[in-house]
Structure 1
Amino acid sequence: MTYGRSNLRLKFRKGYAVPLYLDHSKDRSLIEAVIDFYEMNVGKPYGSIKWEDLRVIIGDDKLYHGLRKSMNYFYKPAEPRASIANPKLLRLRIFQLVNVDYGGFIPSEKRNEFLRSIERRLGIHNIDEVLWIDELGERPLIKVKKPTPIDVAEIYNFETIDTICTNSSELAVEIRALPSVLSSIAKVIGRYSKVYGLLYDIKSRYNNLRAVIEGPRSLFGRPTKYGLRLSLMLEKLLPLLYSETIHRWSIWSKTHFKRTTISIKIMSDDYRPELRVPENIKRPQPAFDSSIEERIFRALKSIGLSIVKDVEPIALGDLLYIPDMKIEVDGKSYYVEVAGYWRKEYAEKKAYKLHEITKLLNNFIVIADEKLKPYLKRLKVPVIYYVLMSGKPIVPYIKILKILRR
């Protein structure tokens, strides 16, 4: 979960905005004060903590909400202790007994006597604790790990980017570099877009590359957890972007708010936030099982085909396409796309993209999950369908050989 678009801190420039990140050096005193607040409250019932004091310390409502979300990675309410009784059912049973024995109200002087009688009747000790053991406000605040100022800055900045991505309709990566570097970037985008189930287009001209990745607002019309996949894609790109081989780059989003859409310059070569993905974040399941592609690759290789996986991007006009595999037969190249099962929204748009690519690329074979037949039946290139049995793709390889030899 993000900290909410209404809590994004943005600085507006002419025609766009930039997010305000935390810097562990510039904001050290503030971050240390926040850490001290949490340290002083470790062990206290969560509901008794004076959160308004933290709001005063921070002095900015948007930053307050963002930091509270970020600090959950380091401090959180303890999990409910195991109990011999279900607290909700126990409360219901006691309310029933109060209604029967006291007409719905126990005088304060008889409360302890009543609870002790319930303990004897139900065989439960310390019933006061058991009754509310599942209530958030009663759980003590525990420390998962004491953070440093840079830990807090990095996690807050990641939450900021994730909030932007979750509310975006597209993410654009713009890079100026040598062609060999652009090729490496394109491969990373292509590979992880497939793993995370992202739709993208890459265009390259001269020494410039622009990759546009669709966001949840475009695919689903609303913010969804799909946005986390965009954030994790950026995680994979950052080592390349922050390296010395790329001198000019920027990442932009079209981010939707209640009444407007804002172009946000998320980061660039001259605006690099301290950033780290939380270790305990719940990562999404891969949209594509890479073991399927690996099995198909090994099977094709085992029958004697000259096949490679690390394929250079193919220029189709200004468009770059990154195939999964390339097969060489009698001096001719065939490009292979392996399509696992896709969600409906993704399948419709991906099928359209493949249709556009195959207008320009004839030596193309699609190997697809049979569940995709409704979406791929109009393609003008061969589509070979496989069936999954016990997680393994059963592919009619003889059909592929016939295509290659005709």
Structure 2
Amino acid sequence: MPNPVSSLAANQAELSLAERFAHTRALMESLVEPLSDADATVQSMEDASPAKWHLAHTTWFWETFLLREYGREYAGGAGGYRLYNEEWPFLFNSYYEAEGARISRFSRGMLSRPTLGEVLEWRAHVTRAMEALLDNRALSDLIALGIAHEQQHIELLLTDIKHALFQNPLGPAMWDADLAPASAPQTGEAGWHEHPGGIALIGDDENGFAFDNEGPRHRVLLEPFALADRLVTVGEWQEFIADGGYGTASLWLSDGLAWVRENAISAPLYWREDEHFTHTGWQTRDPNAPVTHISYFEADAFAAWAGARLPTEFEWEAIARGQDGEGLPQAHNAEAGNQLGKASPPLPSGGSHLFGDCWQFTRSAYLPYPGFRPAKGAVGEYNGKFMSGQCVLKGASCATVRGHSRASYRNFFYPHQRWQFTGLRLAKDL
């Protein structure tokens, strides 16, 4: 049987809903193959979750929102679908208040039971049960949401296990280093995509799946601006450090300076001397590769040092409109594989594309668009209730599943967070 990581279609729009469901389920399971039960159980911080929990939570999603409600067609038992284990929803609900009590977020790493093997058996059970619902056109929107939800957790699984392995003094590798993509050649000074300004249409164009926070589509007025044609590189960040960037108070927002001082921040996450930690263990940093694992505070300070600024989410989207990540090389997404059929570790490699290396900070607050209304019921908690105190990021990363690389996509994190593949693309006024 072909490895699902290397056999996925490049353009998910060409796949049926049932095929996308099957591929997504298989992809997540293939990514934990290198992990032991202990690897999959450990939780390194409250922002991150164990790999086993991601496998289980996405399965809970299908049980809770599809099978429990619509599983009357399921052939596995009279009267409809029965929960695989009635105690597990308490363990694997994330933040859905409407679904009742759950364990505290930082207790997820205490779940030595169920084992990884038991979770995988549950996944197989739920995947089989879902087959009876995948052709139900009345459920297609909810199934598409479930697929997108699991794809988001694939990225989180990859970034969370990286942070967990980083805590180990041995610096263990999840994949062999020879599977990592090569960096693009250095292109010298960044060029610029110039935009004349004017009225731009922003948000979901209703031409395919989108999350509710991507709409409604609305107009914004842009002043003339330019967006860099590549990401800030490791080499440029090293110049920022050498010039005393982390110690120059005038470059930093007040909250950022307090964060730097309180946490003794002097470099991006995962850096030491001339190395950085990756899914292939400790590796020498490539000055031509995009810098990543930076916070909003660091991105804003670098932009000030470089005599530029962060783009707004609307400026970024105006440049990116009509582009997406479907045409990226295989190395630029979580589904990448090499000729050996093995999974390829996520690692930004650089280039002129807008999508697929790092999530790029904007200076836009994560807020609802005009006319936004969350969906009714528990699924309405998916995005809307987090619209406070966070920053919008655009562009997808090397750990993002294809299909999430679109101009309207809005990722969001708090300004101090940097365990995701977060980078920086500069902007300037014209």
TM-score, normalisation: structure 1: 0.24
Q: Which has the higher helix share?
A: 1
TM-score, normalisation: structure 2: 0.23
Q: Which has the higher strand share?
A: 1
